[in-house]
Structure 1
Amino acid sequence: MYIMSQQEEIINKIAQDKIAFDLGIQLLLEDPEYNFKSIFTTLTNYIFNAIPEKTNYNTETYQNAISTIPLKPTYTPIVLLKIFPTRVAFYKLAELPENENKKILTSLLWIFKVTDTERRNTECKNGCGHFWHELE
């Protein structure tokens, strides 16, 4: 069985409201083993798996997640997410300078929280077998 890293566990607990969003971001950023690229990759994979529409990853839930990110809508990561197709936006996010990392992770973590909540309330409502939905 796959064992989640501490960061993966924090991300999933945030998505499931078992850790407050702001506290979760702080825990991820202050982790002694913090690695932006690792967290970025994890969140990207999680988001692409949580969105049911695999053709273009552009669902109403995804768009709602972007429009409710708890940051200023003029911040670069949010602008990129709004104006580019999902995969292109994520590629562009990965290319932003380091001073954008916190905003990028906040944006992606929020998107995952919203999209995974939707999935848990629809596809996974009657049990799904996803071990990460069984966190204590």
Structure 2
Amino acid sequence: MPGTDSGDGRVIRREAERVVNEVAQGLRTLDDGTTWFSALSPAGRREVLREVAGYAMQAHITSADGHAGVARSGVKPTANPSVMICMDPPRYGFAALPADEHVKAFRVLVSVFSVADTRRRKTYCKGTCGHDWHNLPPSVEGP
């Protein structure tokens, strides 16, 4: 990844995993997550967008998840990231969007992931979940 070494990339990915899952589980607001994301370097933001797109794919988002997430995100349904995530199948090239679209893309991706992951926690993982990230303790850190 240009601009960061592999150690920096691992740190950003671990941090992204924590922040995104805290937002998905209501332990952190989307605005707090967006503030964290906005403070990253441009290369860090691209890395996080790739990571969160992967989370969305793993959560098997549906078209309904896409539309519900966009509605939660505060991003216009006609914005590029909103249109991309609501396609059937979704388009995931968010890191390739212009830098001025990255915050919108983050908000859309995290919101859609939150919808899909909540659905999966209530159905697929209900009572048998072994995923550590589905059982996060309340955060003791600030945003």
Alignment TM class, shorter chain as reference: 0.7 to 0.9
Match 1:24 to one of 33, 39, 44: 33
Who is 1:10 aligned against? 19
Change (3 A) 1:109 1:39: same
Cα displacement string for residues 62-87 of structure 1 (whole angstroms, at most 9, x for unaligned residues): 4433454321222221123334531x
Match 1:72 to one of 66, 72, 76: 76
The alignment's TM-score, normalised by the length of structure 2, stands at: 0.75
Does structure 2 retain, via aligned residues, the 8 Å contact 1:25–1:106?
A: yes
Report deviation, 1:95. 2.5
Report deviation, 1:114. 0.8
Who is 2:5 aligned against? none
The alignment's TM-score, normalised by the length of structure 1, stands at: 0.78
Q: How many Å separate the matches in 2 of 1:94 and 1:31?
A: 14
Q: What percentage of residue pairs aligned between the two structures are identical?
A: 28
The gaps in structure 1 that reach 5 residues or longer are 52-56
Q: Report runs of 4+ in structure 1 exceeding 4 Å deviation.
A: 31-34
Q: How many residues align?
A: 126
Does structure 2 retain, via aligned residues, the 8 Å contact 1:50–1:112?
A: yes
Q: How many Å separate the matches in 1 of 2:41 and 2:16?
A: 11
Q: Does 1:44 align with 2:53?
A: yes
Question: C-alpha root-mean-square deviation of aligned residues, in Å?
Answer: 2.4
The gaps in structure 2 that reach 5 residues or longer are 1-10, 138-143
Q: 3-state DSSP class of the match of 2:73?
A: coil
